[in-house]
Amino acid sequence: MGVIQTLVFTTFIAGVVGTGLGGLVGALLQKDSNRIASLLLSFAAGVMISVVCFDLVVEAIETDAGIMVVIGAIALGVAVIYRLNYVIDIRTNSEIPHIDENHPKTADDLDELIHSDHLEFHSSKKDSKMSLFIAGVVMACAIALHNVPEGMTIGASYASNDAVMGSAAIVLAVLIGLHNIPEGMAVSVPLIAGGMPRWKAVLITASSGIPTIVGALLGYMLGELGPLGLALSLGFASGAMLYVVFGEILPQAILMYHSKLPAFSAIGGMLLGLLIIFA
C-alpha cells in the first residue's frame, strides 16, 4: 500500500468509522442522553489535551524551527478556528428563537455543537429547499471545523516519521478515533430527535468524518515541505484542537451536566492519553 493510500485508510478508520460508531451509539441510546454525552465529550477532550500538549507540541518544538514559530502557529490555529466558529454562530444563532441574550455564550446542548438546531428550525418552518441547503452547508462547515484539524495532526505526524506509519501516528489515529465517538453522538442524536430515520442519521454521521481525511492530506503535504512546514502544520493543528477543546467541548459538557463529574471525566481522559502515548 502506498504512502497516500495508507494515510487515507488510517484516517478513514479514525474519522469515518470512529464518527460512525459514535452515531450508532447515539442511535441506540434514549433521546435524553445529555449526561452520558457530557461525560463522553469531556473524557474525549481530556484525551485530546494529552495528545496536543504531550505529543504534538513537543514534536513541533523538536523540528528546531524555533519556539516562536511554534507559538505563532498555535496562536494562528486558535484564531482561525475561533473566527470561523464566530462567523457561523453569528449566521445561525440569531435565527434560533431560544438563543437570546440570556443564553450562555457557548453551546449547551448537542444540537448546538454542530448547528443542527439551525437546520431543524428551517425544516420545521417548511422553508425553501435553498434555505435547507444553506442550513445543511452551515452544519457541514461546523463539523469540518472539528474534523479537519484532527486529520492534520495525523498527517503531520505521518510526515514527521518520514512517511512511515510509526507507532506515534497509529496511537494518534486511535486516540482521535476514540475522540470522534462522542462527537458522532453529537451529530446523530439531534438528527434522530428531529425525526430522521436512525439508519440515515448513522450514515450521515459517518460521512461527516470525511473532512478528517482532507485534513490528513493537508497536514501531510505541509509537513513534507521541511522542518518549518512540519512545525507550522503541527502547531496550527494543535492550536485548532486546543480551541475546540477549551472553547467549545468542555464548556458545553459542563453546561449539559451541572456537576463536577465532567471535570473528573476530562482528567481521566488525560491520564488515558498519557498512558497510551508513553506506555
Pick the closest to residue 187 from 119, 255, 116, 121 (CA basis). 116
Residue 164 lies in a domain: yes
Indicate whether 9 pLDDT > 80: yes
pLDDT given at position 77: 95
d(CA 243, CA 164): 29
Grid cell in block for residue 146: 472539528
At 165 the pLDDT is: 57
Instruction: Give residue 74's pLDDT.
Output: 97
Q: Which of 27-36, 67-76, 77-86, 185-194 bottoms out in mean pLDDT, i.e. has the lowest? A: 27-36
Q: Is residue 118 part of a domain?
A: no
pLDDT tier at 162 (50, 70, 90 boundaries)?
low
Q: How confident is the model at residue 33 (pLDDT cuts 50, 70, 90)?
A: low
How far is Cα 47 from Cα 52, in angstroms, rounded to an integer? 9
pLDDT class of 261 with cuts at 50, 70, 90: very high
Residue 84 lies in a domain: yes
Q: Judge whether 130 lies within some domain.
A: no
Q: How far is 141 from 147, CA to CA, in rounded Å?
A: 10
Decide if pLDDT at 158 tops 70.
yes
* DSSP symbol at 127: -
Average pLDDT, the chain: 85
Q: Is residue 131 part of a domain?
A: no
Cα distance between residue 53 and residue 57, in whole Å? 6
Q: Is residue 40 in some structural domain?
A: yes
The pLDDT assigned to 81 comes to 93
Question: Would you state the cell numbers that stand for residue 77, as one nine-digit string?
Answer: 490555529
**Alpha-carbon gap, residue 117 to 232, rounded angstroms:** 35
Range of 164's domain? 3-113+142-278
Cα-Cα end-to-end distance for the chain: 28
Residue 136 lies in a domain: no
Nearest to 37 by CA among 236, 183, 139: 183
Percentage helix, strand, coil, to 5, in the chain? 80, 0, 20
Q: What is this structure's pTM? A: 0.86
Amino acid code (one letter) for 231: A
Number of separate domains in the chain: 1
What does the alpha-carbon distance between residue 19 and residue 99 come to, in Å, rounded to a whole number?
A: 27
User: Residue 3 is placed in which grid cell?
Assistant: 504512502
126 domain-assigned = no
